[in-house]
Structure 1
Amino acid sequence: MYGDITAVGSGCQKVEELGCAKEEDHCSRGEAVGVRKKNLDLGSAVGLGVAAVCFATVPWKINANLLPPGPKPSPFIGCLPQMLRNKPTFRWIHKLMEEMNVEIMCIRLGNVHVISVTSPEISREFLRRQDAVFASRPVCLPADIASGGYLSAALSPMGDQWKKMRKVLTSEVLSTSRHHWLHDKRVEEADHLIRFVYNQCMNSATSGLVNVRVAAQHFCGNVIRKMIFNKRFFERGIEDGGPGVEEEEHVNALFTILFQGRLQGLVATVLSYCYSFCVSDYIPCIRAILDLDGHEKIVRKATTSVKKYQDPLIDKRIKKWNDGTKTEKEDILDILIMLKQTDGTPLLSREEVKAQIVV
């Protein structure tokens, strides 16, 4: 009996030892598999890192051999910090070219390579021999806002819309026959300009001084309004023939869209807002978040001021033509509204007419 108990006990001990051995073997195998997994993960991470570095650096090195010389750009943002610190940007670029003693330079701003040229020979290469490559206008936020989403001819990139609006302008607005047709309106405004200058000379309050800048802007604004809307003023103007508050706001807004800077007497900084160096044009992903240069706010405000006076006149004129209360073409607006396709439908939409009138 005792012998059987001892045998059973020794058998149990062997079973326990065998179980422990299996557990130890299983643990050792698990540890080995874990080590292999860690090594695999570490190796994969290192491999991916090396591939990312090669992908990020090799193309830049290859492209760098094909690009003109220029300042060394920072990763991702390029030379944008230098551009923001040095205003105006065109003077900074010109200074860089003088320091590097080059006639062509490449400056990377965000993901865009800006090529600056001062050599007449190289410029001819761009503008003549390679015209088909460089003829299109760049896409930029101020131009997009001012043209109503690239609907006008002046600011649209090369494409079907640009070809359509260009054909309209060359055949219907800027033709020789149309120039003669609008001759009397231009002569009338020239007479008004002489009267305005004469009244300014006779004004004792200003000692007969004439602000040539104001007179020139007033004349240009009146000629444009007369040829497009067949009217000199949006409201009544003033007694001496000068611009009223509405006309001054309208002209200043147009100059703001096309020219940067505040008009202070005879001194003004004239830098184009359209196609100026705007950070959001080179990093488009920040447009919905930041307006670092303030260009978007300024251009939207100016465009709203312009359209505030122009759009109601355009809507009213379209309604007159649709109602049949107007039957005779008197100005450029009538020409644009009455352009027809072969099936008799309007060639230009309401928004296209409004965008073309702005710029």
Structure 2
Amino acid sequence: MEDLIAVLTSWSVQFIAALVFLYVLLKVFKRVRYAGGKRPPGPPSLPLIGHFHHLLFGLPHHSSAKIAEKYGLIVWLELGAVRVVVVTYSDIAREVLKTQDHIFASRRPLIMADMVFKRGQNLGLSPWDDHFRLFRKIFTTELLSQNRIDSSKDFRRQMTLRTLRTAFEEGHGNRYINLADLSHNQFLYLTTRMLFRTDGHAQNKDLLEITHDFISAGGLVIEDFFPLLKSLDLSGQVRRLKNIGERYFKIMDSIIDNRLKENSNSKSNTEEDFLDVLLATSTFSRVQVQLLLLGIIVGGTDTSADSIVWAITELLWHPNIMERLQRELDDVIGKERLVEKADLNNLEYLQAVVKETLRLHPVAGLGVPHYSTEATKVAGHNIPANTWVILNIYAIGRDPQDWENPLKFDTSRFLNSPVDVRGHHYEVLPFGAGRRRCVGMNLALVCVAYIAQLIHACTISLPEGLTHLDVDVEEKFTLTVARRDPLNLLMKRRLPLDVYRKAGLQFSDV
């Protein structure tokens, strides 16, 4: 037995040594191959790990921003076996996302895409190819058409009422509620109702857990940068992501099987949901249908919910801005009804609050890595083919070259300003730009009504003993950039009781 252990131990050491030797050869080969090009500047690197040691302390979007402050607005990093270019300036972002968008619109295969999305068969992680264009076409024409968004107003209204009911029940008992948990739950409810009309509490609970696990796992794992180690799974993330995928497919198999059993012949087009449309399209396999839905669930739940939490955080930290927004809501809406989608265009200050929140707190702090399909030049620097290009959206939105007092939450900068957040102005890119701009952007912006509804319908208080000076904006970095600590709030009714009753809310505490 001891001899066997000795043999296995010796084999393991030799195997790892061989991997290291092969890796060093590849690194030397890369350096020789690209030594003649003028690459972007970057910090000193170490053998094997490259520049990883520069990113070990602090959050990645913070660390890469600090590197840019020292080495320039376009920086070269070698992270293990992966070549990475990080952009932190709007003009260079424009060159990547507009001028040379055709070169940088693809995605590199990631372990997450492989383990969960079956080699990137979804909108966010798919390479730029015919499959992606087909995914995007059916997504925009069927799920995000104006008719579909308009038809979802009842779901959004139900989501608002569910939120208010939960918040007021807790508030009446003087119990604080975790705004992030409440928002994530309600946006998952909205998303699943739009996709496949489910209202099953058990299914939504399981999907919420899967979404949370998926977001917590993060978009990148260590084996993405050291692919020779993938089979060893030293981080445990490969196995974890595979498990997430298996759990999701089990739930979706049940949902699809039940849908296929239903008699859909009697349904009119207006009654069909997105799942019906996908199942009726012979172009997509069952797995592709499931993966498209998963991408939408992940993209439409945490991103919207985290943006809401950041907006409320800043409003609590700046009570003068909160008061001004409430005055606008009272002036435009009054106190006799709740906010509706049709009101949004008339709420100029609300739009400024939303834009400033998305500038200062983009939940996709580093976005999804772009991938060069051919060698090119950016800002005068050589960028080899097969290089990751990461847009530090967080740093771009805080660049003092574009923004005065960039760290200040100042809504006035967006009043009477042509700058928007839709990907046309490269100094603020919460949804990206170009071919890979977030396809769910319009629906996400419709959800800003949620902020207005909370501020208009609720009085929102911090825990006893805390003031606005105690509000913090500390972050955590997973698949999104969210608040590090829970935002616990006491939420009570702000409007006359009849307003809620007319909207369909009944209370037992009257």
Shorter-chain TM band: 0.5 to 0.7
Structure 1 residue 338, shift from structure 2 partner: 1.5
The separation in 2 between residues aligned to 1:76 and 1:196, in whole angstroms, is: 52
Q: Which residue of 2 aligns with 1:253?
A: 210
1:91 maps onto 2:34 in alignment: no
Uncovered stretches (5+) of structure 1, i.e. residues with no partner: 1-51, 236-245, 261-272, 340-345
Amino acid at match of 1:59: R
Equivalent runs, 1:164-183 vs 2, <5 Å: 164-183=134-153
Q: How many residues align?
A: 267
Alignment partner for residue 198 of structure 1, among 168, 185, 200? 168
Alignment partner for residue 70 of structure 1, among 25, 29, 42? 42
Alignment partner for residue 289 of structure 1, among 232, 253, 272? 232
1:352 maps onto 2:288 in alignment: yes
Uncovered stretches (5+) of structure 2, i.e. residues with no partner: 1-25, 296-510
The separation in 2 between residues aligned to 1:157 and 1:54, in whole angstroms, is: 28
Judged with a 3 Å threshold, the aligned counterparts in structure 2 of structure 1 residues 286 and 68 are, in CA distance, closer, same or farther, namely: same
The separation in 2 between residues aligned to 1:84 and 1:104, in whole angstroms, is: 16
The separation in 2 between residues aligned to 1:256 and 1:336, in whole angstroms, is: 26
Q: Give the TM-score normalised by structure 1.
A: 0.66
Alignment partner for residue 109 of structure 1, among 76, 79, 82? 79
- Which range moved further: 182-191 or 210-219? 182-191
| Conserved 8 A contact 2:27-2:81 | no
1:300 maps onto 2:271 in alignment: no
Q: Give the TM-score normalised by structure 2.
A: 0.48
Judged with a 3 Å threshold, the aligned counterparts in structure 2 of structure 1 residues 182 and 338 are, in CA distance, closer, same or farther, namely: farther
More strand by share: 2
Alignment partner for residue 217 of structure 1, among 168, 172, 184? 184
The separation in 1 between residues aligned to 2:160 and 2:27, in whole angstroms, is: 67
The separation in 1 between residues aligned to 2:275 and 2:246, in whole angstroms, is: 20
Amino acid at match of 1:317: R
1:119 maps onto 2:76 in alignment: no
Amino acid at match of 2:226: I
| Conserved 8 A contact 2:43-2:71 | no
| Conserved 8 A contact 1:336-1:353 | yes
Task: Kindly indicate whether structure 1 or structure 2 has the higher relative contact order, using CA contacts under 8 Å at least 6 residues apart.
Answer: 2
Alignment partner for residue 61 of structure 1, among 17, 32, 35? 35
| Conserved 8 A contact 1:222-1:233 | no
**Deviations 1:285-319, CA, capped at 9 Å, x for gaps:** 22112333x43233333333333333211122134
The separation in 2 between residues aligned to 1:53 and 1:347, in whole angstroms, is: 42
Structure 1 residue 56, shift from structure 2 partner: 7.0
**Deviations 1:307-347, CA, capped at 9 Å, x for gaps:** 33332111221343xxx5654244221121123xxxxxx22
- Which range moved further: 161-170 or 224-233? 224-233
Judged with a 3 Å threshold, the aligned counterparts in structure 2 of structure 1 residues 72 and 333 are, in CA distance, closer, same or farther, namely: same
The separation in 2 between residues aligned to 1:94 and 1:158, in whole angstroms, is: 28
Amino acid at match of 1:135: A
Structure 1 residue 259, shift from structure 2 partner: 4.7
CA RMSD of aligned residues (A): 2.8
| Conserved 8 A contact 2:233-2:239 | no
The structure with more radius of gyration: 1
Structure 1 residue 350, shift from structure 2 partner: 0.8
Report SS of the residue matched to 1:163: helix
Report SS of the residue matched to 1:62: coil
Structure 1 residue 229, shift from structure 2 partner: 2.4
| Conserved 8 A contact 1:67-1:106 | yes
Structure 1 residue 74, shift from structure 2 partner: 4.2
Structure 1 residue 108, shift from structure 2 partner: 1.2
1:189 maps onto 2:159 in alignment: yes
More helix by share: 1
Structure 1 residue 53, shift from structure 2 partner: 12
**Deviations 1:218-250, CA, capped at 9 Å, x for gaps:** 211111121222122244xxxxxxxxxx53442
Structure 1 residue 97, shift from structure 2 partner: 2.7
1:141 maps onto 2:77 in alignment: no
The separation in 1 between residues aligned to 2:27 and 2:189, in whole angstroms, is: 60
The separation in 2 between residues aligned to 1:111 and 1:95, in whole angstroms, is: 22
Structure 1 residue 94, shift from structure 2 partner: 2.6
**Deviations 1:164-189, CA, capped at 9 Å, x for gaps:** 11111011111112112332222223
Alignment partner for residue 258 of structure 2, among 316, 328, 332? 316
Amino acid at match of 2:44: K
Give me the identity figure in percent. 24
